[in-house]
Structure 1
Amino acid sequence: MFVAGFVTGTLAGWPLADRLAFAGLTAALSVQEFGGSLSAPGWAEIGAWWRRVGCAQGQDPAALRRYEFLTDLTPPGPARPWPLRRAVPTIGFRRSA
């Protein structure tokens, strides 16, 4: 996911610091779920994370500034519940040991 986030930022023409922050964020969000590509965050999940972090008490202002670029990129308004409930991968889970 890190590379996918980095390539997304590169294709969008973002500054290097924003690309690295976005790549790290997408990778961090993806490892919270099981399932490889099933765990890849979409814009809705990224937006939900950003809104949730922005409202949390005691956040480091410098850390919030680092991700301010997400404000214009993520969908506005109410988001789907986060974390998003994902499909359960089934390949290889029914084998006998």
Structure 2
Amino acid sequence: MATAASPRLGFGIGPDGTYTRGGQVLAFVLGLWAMLAFLPLLFVGAVLYTRAEERFAENPERARHMVTWSWLSVSVLPLVPVVIGVGIYLAVA
């Protein structure tokens, strides 16, 4: 009679389903990193957009570039660390 293979637990999860000590530390560090990495990009996007509104009358081309970068800072740029993190996770796992 074959025994069923135990399911593979997530990284940092103990056999009882709770975080291990290392998992708690990693979750805290990654949460802190995400807050520090993504929150500044939100402010950058807001400042760029506000500055672009001031420049539309005198330099519309420059203002369009600033608006583009403001949208990138809140949409695409936060994905770069996520993609790197997934790549590292897949390389380690």
TM-score over 0.5 (shorter chain): no
Larger relative contact order (C-alpha < 8 A, sep ≥ 6)?
A: 1
Q: Which has the larger radius of gyration?
A: 2
Provide TM-score, normalisation by structure 2.
Answer: 0.29
